Amino acid sequence: MSTQACTPETSAPRAAVKPTLMSTVKAYVALTKPRVMELLLVVTVPAMILAARGLPDLWLVIATLIGGGASAGSAGAFNCYIDRDMDRKMNRTKGRPLVTGEISDRNALIFAWVLGIFSVVWMAIFTNWLATLLTALANFFYVVIYTLILKRHSEQNIIWGGIAGCFPVLIGWAAVTETLSAEAWIFFLVIFLWTPPHYWPLSIKYREDYAAASVPMLGVVRARSTVSLQIILYTWATVASSLLLIPVAPMGWTYTVIAFISGAYFIYEAHKLYGKAIRGSEGKPMRVFHGSIAYLTVISLAMALDPLLPAWNQFLPVN
C-alpha cells in the first residue's frame, strides 16, 4: 500500500552489511506501513471530538491513538509478511524489509503478533470493551478478509477490504461514548466509499506492477476508462455521504462550507481523470490519489473544528 520510492531489486538479501540499531528500528517501522497508519489515525481524533461534541479526555485520546496505532501497525506487518512473495515482483515494493532481508520472515511474524496482542490488551485496560472488540475486528478484517482472501482473488478487493480502514472511526467513537450512533456510521460510510477512488488511481499508475504480481486490482482487469468512471461514481457517493452529517449530527457552518468546497475539488479531479481516460491518455492518477488524501484530511479536520466553534456555527439554521 505504500507509495514510497523503492530501491532496485537485488539478487540476494542485504546480508553483507551489518545492520545498525537505527537501521533495524527503521526497518521495523517500515514494516508497520506508517503512511497508512497516519491516515487511519487522522480520522480517529476528529471522530472522538465529534462524539464528545467538544474536547474529550486527553489521556483517552492518547490511549486510543496508541492502541489504534499498534493495531494498524500489526495489520501492516502481517500484510508485509503474507504479501512478501508479491512484493518481490513489484517495483514499488521491492524496498520493503522482508524483500531486502533487513528483517527475517520469522521476526516479522513475531513482531506482527506482539503488536496485535498488545493493541487489544492496551485497549481493554485503558478504553472499554466495545472499542477493544472493534480494535481486534479491524486487525482481523484487514489481515484475513482483505489480505488473505480478497486481495489475490477478487477485483472487488479494495471495496470490501477497505472496510478495515473504516474501523478507526468506530473505535474512536466507541472509546468516547461506549456506543455507535448514526453519526459514527455515516463517518464510517464516508471512508468506505472514499477508499476505492483513493486506491484505484494507484492501480492505474502501477498497473504493470500489480499485473506482474497477479493481483486483480481493478486497474489491471478493467480498461482505464472503466476504472476512471468507477472513480467518479464513488467520489460522488463519498461527497454525498459526507453531507449527510449536516442534518444528522447536526453540523454547523464550518463543516458545511468545507465539505462542499473540498467535495467539489475531489469531484473535479475525478472527472478530469476520466476525461483524459476517454481520450486515450493516462492522465494524472496520482493527482487524484493525493487529492483524495487531502480531501479526507480536510473534512476530518472540519469535523473536529465544528463542535469547537459554537459561536460561529450557531447561525446555521439546523442548529
pLDDT of residue 2: 37
- Low-confidence winner among 80-89, 175-184, 218-227 (lowest mean pLDDT): 218-227
Q: Which amino acid is at 128?
A: N
pLDDT of residue 314: 53
pLDDT digits (tens, 9 = 90+) for 10-47: 434 444 457 788 888 999 999 998 887 787 778 999 99
- Mutual angle of helices 167-177 and 182-205, in 10-degree steps: 160
Q: What angle do CA 293, 250, 255 make, to 5 degrees?
A: 35
Reply yes or no on whether the pLDDT at 298 is more than 50. yes
Which residues of the chain are in CATH 1.10.357.140 domains? 31-180
pLDDT of residue 17: 59
Question: What CA–CA distance (Å, rounded) separates 37 from 73?
Answer: 7
CATH of 31-180, one of 1.20.1560.10, 1.10.357.140, 1.10.486.10, 3.40.50.800: 1.10.357.140
User: What is the value of pTM for the model shown?
Assistant: 0.87
CATH superfamily of 182-318: UbiA prenyltransferase (1.20.120.1780)
Residues whose CB falls within 8 Å of the CB of residue 242, separated by 6 or more in sequence, listed in order: 190, 259, 263, 299
Reply yes or no on whether the pLDDT at 319 is more than 70. no
Q: Is the peptide bond before 250 cis (omega within 30 degrees of 0)?
A: yes
Which residues of the chain are in CATH 1.20.120.1780 domains? 182-318
Q: How confident is the model at residue 233 (pLDDT cuts 50, 70, 90)?
A: very high
pLDDT digits (tens, 9 = 90+) for 116-129: 999 999 999 999 99
